[in-house]
Structure 1
């Protein structure tokens, strides 16, 4: 198994001669070191509930941990932003997705974690019910008065008609100007792009899509529209201004805040990797991915139940945070201490070299990793809100909180690499896999680069230059060894380099 992505170790000495014997080859994919979910980064009341839910449901703690982050983001509802430096701010909404096979009690975990949000939603609805009823009555009375005035104007004499028409028009405008508040809603499930826009518009710019299924990706891919519709999801994550101008509706959202907390079957990861434009437009780069190991087959028959006090504290804190921020119009600005800013900056400096297209660990997923520091800042804001609740905006975010968020960011980074491996995000790995399968059908112990190119599809390997990165990766993983080119000294084209092939090439269990 490879070293942890975040262990900064010196590269091996490449000047050492290779031993004559073959080492075991390293698989091209599926050998990532995945970090365990660091529940200790949460404030105690969140950590205790997450661990208790994982114990009672006998599910990986990663599931409850990721859902908890989405719950905190829903409670924040875009009403808080993290001020980094200068004009750089990050909102507090997140996109998370956990991949687990069937029979992992995903719905039970979602229900336990999100239940306080529904309670908070009901309290908000009860609070606004009188204002809604009053506005509805006012609008009805004004509309009826306008209709009476219009009828009177229609039957009036010519001399009186103009004045009565003006009165009727004025009353109609008054009726139309009455705004009826929308019933508060925090959560939606598998909403279409149009529904997401409408919900955010009527809910003051925020909504959260939480689901233990992955149907939302089918909807984004165009199940109903016939074509992908990612715009509302992209802007809802980034907080970019969203405007819809159509004949049937006009919706303007200056600062949308969309949160998504999803759990899908692993197969869905393969499917979403094929959403047209999903990588190019940045949709897949916005999710924080988790790929935990299923506990099915190793679960306790009689696990410890969630302690009542732990459940009650979690519910109380989530409800209090949600209700406190619900009425904010201007966002609560969370400032970083100088030490916290320095910690985040140091993390950014660690991430940046890994984004290099050549040689960087994140080079093939820079669309995702380029947002990692921003996502870490968002997580830091959520941890700060969870720790301090209604007093969070009066206190700066500390370096300890930022370091906890960085640890969560590192966790998501290792899982993102594994997820994008599944999606075939690295074209070099995909091509190397094709070459490996071709070598498995070759009878000899070695092959020239020229002969190998002939065996491959010209649509994928048009030139030798297309083949070289794949061969280099296979050589790095111990599947082939390039032999010194023996030059004859004569005229003509130099001989093609030859590659020795690992003797276990036909053992499919090694790849």
Structure 2
């Protein structure tokens, strides 16, 4: 066997290019395990390179609108795509569910999305364009039902006044049979009084947990919160409750589990609450959210699908003005209106869409792949709370895409829809890693960052695990802790671990640093 190359000396004498050539030669000679010919770009802790989320990830008419809005506002397409998904969820949630296996395991179609962009990124313009049809639909439905709501409101007032008079008569009645007669009349008035009618609502921008419980009860057990402001997190953190956070209504709305509220002056009984989010926040505000540990521990942050696109601020052409084509805007509104046809005032049983066999196989394979990589030492260990929910989110997206493409009469979720949803789910993983890095890296990431700083500071292209532990013994008092940090770095293509065989001596556990880190 050839003598292993001293990569540290080579890095200092000839630079990173020579290191790479020597690495390739050493790999060919068997000194270290054979990797790919080219080193991938390293992913540093808290600095994940995220892919673009293109409009064509969505069905044609929805993708066309997202692309046109992104071009018109000169914003990253990821923002309009995420808002578009939330709008679709607001329209279809509670009315449909997806059952991947065709049994009693179902996923509601509620969806939570969160896009991080700085101030001045034209988030409001995107929200206005994407939610305009929902506002128009609400207004048209309100106008259409105004006369009937007025009639019902009058009938209720008459009944209430009559019950007040009957109660007064009952208080004056001297005979038991007279009081019983009045009681029967009051009961009849209550039973025949028409239920209150409200103008339909699809979404809000700002709501307390207590008001949300009431809105879910009042508006068909479904509601969406679409906003480019951060106020909802302040509400969830308890700004109106003396700092006591109230998350149950939000968490139940994502899961679709029954809600029972019975308090003095307030009650809300909701069998299948459906709540969707479409939020856009400044990165600094998103980082501040992490200050509430309960947001992470409760699973609230794990329910969001994150987009962390690069901002266009500073790169926009202020002379360029591209309007959303009328045909694109009109088709977007028309197809959303078509999906909103026959929306029941009183919620019924959701229609359940199973997956076709090929669709199920693709979804299960994706779910297993995620599962295999999120255990201890796995690629997704640091965001396992988020990845645990990703297959369910992908199933929800697949059903939404199927309904968007086929319409309200879709019978099952196709392989095409699942393929689109899985592709989108894969794109969202690095965005989630970036988001959780911003929210606060875990202890292993912190250790990994310390190793990188030490290795780069000394220009170490190659080093032993023992050398690293000895140099940083104040941090790594146990080998297990260092090993976890090195494994995380290997998963992120920062270094490679291998065993160097020493003739007549014990083997040495070695680390080979990605040469790209020595050239920056």
TM-score (norm 1): 0.83
Q: Identify the match of residue 110 of structure 2 among 85, 93, 100.
A: 93
Partner-residue secondary structure (3-state), 1:323:
coil
Distance, in Å, in 1 between the alignment partners of 2:380 and 2:344 is 38
What is the alpha-carbon distance in structure 1 between the residues aligned to residue 469 and residue 494 of structure 2?
A: 20
Alignment partner, residue 407 of structure 1: 423
Select the residue among 413, 421, 427 that pairs with 2:437.
Answer: 421
| C-alpha distance in structure 2 between counterparts of 1:14 and 1:268, whole Å | 49
Does residue 164 of the first structure (1) align with residue 178 of the second (2)?
yes
Q: C-alpha displacement at 1:436, in angstroms?
A: 5.4
Cα offset for 1:467?
Answer: 4.2
Indicate the RMSD between aligned Cα atoms, in angstroms.
3.6
Matched, 1:118 2:147: no
Distance in 2, Cα, partners of 1:60 & 1:502: 31
How many residue pairs end up in the alignment? 479
After alignment, is 444-453 or 266-275 more displaced? 444-453
**Deviation for aligned residue 1:123:** 2.5
CA drift at 1:423: 2.1
Matches within 5 A, 1:309-328: 309-327=327-345
Shift of 1:121: 1.4
Residue of structure 2 equivalent to 1:291: 308
Q: CA deviation digits over 1:40-91, x for unaligned, max 9?
A: 2322211111111111111111111110000000011321111211211111
Q: Specify the alignment match of 2:31 in structure 1.
A: 17
Please state if 1:383 is matched with 2:397. no
Local SS of the residue matching 2:184? helix
Q: 1:29 aligns with which of 32, 45, 51?
A: 45
In 1, the alpha carbon distance for the partners of 2:509 and 2:231 equals 50
Answering whether residue 284 of structure 2 is matched by residue 267 of structure 1, we say yes
Q: What is the CA-CA distance between 1:333 and the residue it aligns to?
A: 2.1
Q: Within 2, Cα distance between the matches of 1:88 and 1:17?
A: 51
Q: Please say if 1:241 is aligned against 2:258.
A: yes
Q: Could you say what secondary structure the match of 1:97 adopts?
A: strand
Match of 1:336 in 2: 355
Correspondence list, 1:358-377, <5 A: 358=377, 360-377=378-395
Structure 2 unmatched runs, 5+: 1-25, 34-38
How far the C-alpha of 1:13 sits from its partner, in A, is 7.0
Matched, 1:256 2:273: yes
Change (3 A) 1:104 1:397: same
The 1:97/1:14 distance shift into structure 2, 3 A limit, reads farther
The answer to whether the 8 Å contact 1:55/1:303 transfers is no
- Counterparts of 2:109 and 2:365, CA distance in 1: 21
Q: For 1:260 and 1:34, how far apart are their aligned partners in 2?
A: 22
Q: Does residue 201 of the first structure (1) align with residue 217 of the second (2)?
A: yes
Say yes or no: does 1:182 pair with 2:205: no
Q: Please say if residues 80 and 334 of structure 1, whose CA atoms lie closer than 8 Å, have aligned partners that are also in contact.
A: yes
The equivalent residue for 2:484 is 469
Contact 1:58/1:303 (<8 A) preserved: no
Q: 1:24 to 1:391 in 2, by over 3 A?
A: closer
Kept in 2, the 8 Å contact 1:448–1:497? The answer is no
TM-score (norm. length: structure 2): 0.81
> Structure 2: how far apart are the matches of 1:341 and 1:502?
39
**Conservation of the 8 A alpha-carbon contact between 2:217 and 2:269:** yes
Residue 191 in 1 paired to residue 210 in 2?
Answer: no
Give the equivalent residue in structure 1 for 2:72.
56
Gaps of 5+ in 1: 1-11, 490-495
Counterparts of 2:261 and 2:29 in 1: how far apart (Å)?
Answer: 61
**Equivalent runs, 1:426-465 vs 2, <5 Å:** 426-434=442-450, 452=471, 455-456=474-475, 463=478, 465=480
Q: For residues 420-449 of structure 1, give each alpha carbon's deviation from its aligned partner in whole angstroms, at most 9, with x where no partner exists.
A: 122234321122334556789999999966
Structure 1 match to 2:326? 308
Residue 224 (1) aligns with residue 233 (2): no
CA shift for structure 1 position 345 = 1.8
CA pair 478-16 structure 1, distance change in 2 beyond 3 A:
farther
